[in-house]
Chains A and B, each alone.
Chain A
């Protein structure tokens, strides 16, 4: 029964990034919102304490009340009303506290879409469409409207500006997918027939994986994209450059139609 204790040690070890388990924990966070990480650690501490306590208790009872050593008569009891109430009420309070404590984080991640200065919901910077087995990205172009002639189409590549609230519209063309950005702590199933919005605020430059997290067929594993965070300037330059390239190759680009 020492496995629970060993397990906790491994978890702590991995969390501390010590050899040989470095990197075996959350991938680097590159968004401003650290609520998910915070909550995870908070629950880890809470459950960790319960876990070790019950592990030690179990181990201690097993050692102490081993029939081979214990010559005391058994404690003939059918239970204790007081204890039952205690260990129902205390966990109930903790669990209820947890439930209420995380409501804000959930609302921030899912319900409170960023707004513009005039109170209108912020329009999406791009539309992400999942299909077997690629991510199609569509930027609205200068008119800020989708499906107009100045739209930009790219596949499996997404660029977003740093230090801004980024809103994405996500859709599916065929089956379920799930748009997962491990470094951004973002995950949303992409459901055919539904238009959904996700948002995040990246704060660190770099390129990160876009992962598909919902089984979408045999090629599920290779439905990989790349998201690049860069400064507003670089982003605008990239947008312009890629649009020009698309104009030049208009007739050979199947997706652009």
Chain B
């Protein structure tokens, strides 16, 4: 770890003998090393993942056995109600489940954890462009953790106007129990997440554009990096809109402006001043960010999956350039489709048609990507390792999520399925079946690089199999609920005649959901056991091509112990130019092969 020759970083190297408390804090707590920051993000987000999962169990419990005492957890949490979930508590549960999963798990685990860890390593840089800004981007998450976590303990026990926070419900404290201080804290938390992501995205963009190793042209970037790059672009352009909208809502709540509150509104028989605003404005602003956010939550995952699929199919990526164009296409179209969340919102129906056509078209790049993944595994030598299984699951689950999206894009069909469990099924397939599967795969894949040890394959496969089965048990059945019109966010759907016969299927889903959370136990144990006692991994345990695999495991401060020079793209597996079935990006061409671009010229 201490023998770092990459210029400028030798002074940061330290030997373990003079390791004091101050040094511990500067190395592991207020570290400016992108790898430490990435791992900090990873641990924080995994912890919140657990919180979000437990909140989901609360939701599922209520839908399966409404108004019944929750065993064990119930009396501990809400003894006042005799261990039952109250409707106020239920609205809080799904609001906070979605908030935690979106803003504290998926976005930060992809951009924060993997983005930070992988970007400099995969492009051959010694660190991020702005290490201090990078450190701040993690530490600004802590106020967010505090605000979101703290909102559970103030009046109302957590924000409860849905993760979309639609006004007037969210702007008028009288309208809901969680619309008081809890909602204010929610908005402050959102702002902190926004600031953190903004810092991150500026840093990623600069790093990827400026700090690539010699020979690493844009068209030789691994798709993971392309995914992160486009994500950072989306965040840089869309996020300010949400942050501004959040501020406007905060002003509505605190100093009495009326951006989102219409004229002549009265809640609980008390007239609300002021007015003159428009609730639809919030929806436009919110979805202008939150629709691109869907791609922020999937593009890096797509990139990571592409890398893993190539590595274990031992084959080049099928159609690298179309994949890059498809990602860019998704990002571009992503900005003009937000209105499809508002087909039944009261927005002008003529506008609905425009959004419908745009939304239909965004399915296209996703289809191109899926076919390219199939093309990638065609004709390969597939190794069924744990990361590969998770990546294959990503592809098949993403197909389900993508195809069910077409139903929503069709405006007339959306009239019926909007706000039903069909939507819930769709985005859980994209975000859990898709992103979470990719994240698990990525953890198993890059774990040896992060900690220098390998995770146990057997328990990894157990984890995969259980998660995969119960994920489908939970989320596939949601399509059927959605087809009956079963609405989201109802504390007791059996209040309605139409949905009464759906209770058994809900119970089935709840059992699957509980088992799905339980399936994470082998993962958690495997993760921590392997971190300390797993078999030691060398630099390149998977025989992969990427630059990160040429660095030591784990890499020291400054990453590389040599200056990486890139001779080819990252997907040259099974190349006839070499005798081995992989061809690292830094390996000079053999006699049989020749460099397609002399590396000295390619250093742009």
Q: A-side interface residues toward B, CB under 8 Å?
A: 1, 3-4, 6-7, 10-11, 14, 21, 23-27, 35-36, 39-40, 43-44, 46-47, 50-51, 54-55, 57-58, 61-62, 65-67, 70, 72-80, 83-84, 87-88, 91-92, 95-96, 98-99, 102-103, 105-107, 109-111, 132, 173-176, 178, 180, 182-183, 185-194, 196, 208-209, 211-222, 224
User: Which residues of chain B are within 8 angstroms of A7 by Cβ–Cβ distance?
Assistant: 400, 472, 476
The one of B177, B353, B493, B502 that contacts A24, using a Cβ cutoff of 8 Å: B502
Kindly provide the distance from the CB of A193 to the nearest chain B CB, expressed in whole angstroms.
Answer: 3
The one of B87, B162, B368, B403 that contacts A87, using a Cβ cutoff of 8 Å: B368
Q: A67-B382, A193-B278, A219-B87 are in contact. Are A182 and B396 (CB under 8 A)?
A: no
B412 interfacial by beta-carbon distance below 8 Å: yes
Pair count A-B, CB < 8 A? 318
**What string of 1s and 0s marks CB contacts (under 8 Å) between B384-421 and chain A?**
10000000110110011001101100111101101110
A193 to B261: give the CA distance in the assembly, Å: 9
Contact yes or no, A39 B410, CB < 8 A: yes
User: Which residues of chain B are within 8 angstroms of A4 by Cβ–Cβ distance?
Assistant: 396, 399-400
Secondary structure type dominating chain A contacts: mixed
Contact yes or no, B374 A78, CB < 8 A: no
Kindly provide the distance from the CB of A120 to the nearest chain B CB, expressed in whole angstroms.
Answer: 20
Task: Find the B residue at minimum CB distance from A111.
Answer: B349
A87 to B374: give the CA distance in the assembly, Å: 12
B302 interfacial by beta-carbon distance below 8 Å: no
Per the 8 Å Cβ criterion, residues 319-373 of B in contact with A are: 319-322, 344-346, 349-350, 352-353, 356-357, 360-361, 363-364, 367-368, 370-372
Q: A43-B407, A74-B573 are in contact. Are A182 and B413 (CB under 8 A)?
A: no
Contact yes or no, B313 A47, CB < 8 A: no
A107 to B255: give the CA distance in the assembly, Å: 42
A54 to B403: give the CA distance in the assembly, Å: 11
Contact yes or no, A36 B416, CB < 8 A: yes
A75 to B576: give the CA distance in the assembly, Å: 10
User: Which residues of chain B are within 8 angstroms of A220 by Cβ–Cβ distance?
Assistant: 87, 91, 489-491
User: Which residues of chain B are within 8 angstroms of A208 by Cβ–Cβ distance?
Assistant: 498
B19 interfacial by beta-carbon distance below 8 Å: no
Contact yes or no, A193 B264, CB < 8 A: yes
User: Which residues of chain B are within 8 angstroms of A43 by Cβ–Cβ distance?
Assistant: 406-407, 410, 413
Contact yes or no, A92 B361, CB < 8 A: yes
Kindly provide the distance from the CB of B214 to the nearest chain A CB, expressed in whole angstroms.
Answer: 23
A87 to B419: give the CA distance in the assembly, Å: 32
Contact yes or no, B360 A99, CB < 8 A: yes
Contact yes or no, A98 B483, CB < 8 A: no
Q: Which of B265-273, B450-458, B522-530 lies at the interface with chain A?
A: B265-273
Other than the known A36-B412, A84-B322, what 15 A-B pairs have Cβ atoms closer than 8 Å? A14-B480, A24-B480, A35-B412, A43-B407, A62-B392, A75-B380, A77-B318, A88-B364, A92-B364, A102-B356, A175-B267, A185-B415, A187-B415, A216-B169, A221-B495
User: Which residues of chain A are within 8 angstroms of B418 by Cβ–Cβ distance?
Assistant: 187, 213
Interface centre among B172, B278, B375 (most CB of A within 10 A): B375
Contact yes or no, B278 A61, CB < 8 A: no
The one of B318, B364, B413 that contacts A40, using a Cβ cutoff of 8 Å: B413
Contact yes or no, A73 B88, CB < 8 A: no
A172 to B413: give the CA distance in the assembly, Å: 24
Contact yes or no, A79 B370, CB < 8 A: no
A191 to B538: give the CA distance in the assembly, Å: 60
Q: A80-B319, A103-B353, A176-B166 are in contact. Are A61 and B485 (CB under 8 A)?
A: no
A213 to B322: give the CA distance in the assembly, Å: 40
A173 to B350: give the CA distance in the assembly, Å: 26
User: Which residues of chain A are within 8 angstroms of B363 by Cβ–Cβ distance?
Assistant: 91, 95
The one of B350, B480, B493, B502 that contacts A111, using a Cβ cutoff of 8 Å: B350
A-B contact pairs, 27 of them (CB 8 A): A10-B476, A24-B480, A36-B416, A40-B413, A43-B413, A54-B374, A54-B399, A58-B374, A58-B395, A62-B392, A65-B380, A67-B382, A76-B316, A78-B571, A79-B317, A88-B367, A92-B361, A96-B360, A102-B413, A110-B352, A132-B175, A191-B345, A192-B168, A213-B488, A217-B175, A220-B491, A221-B492
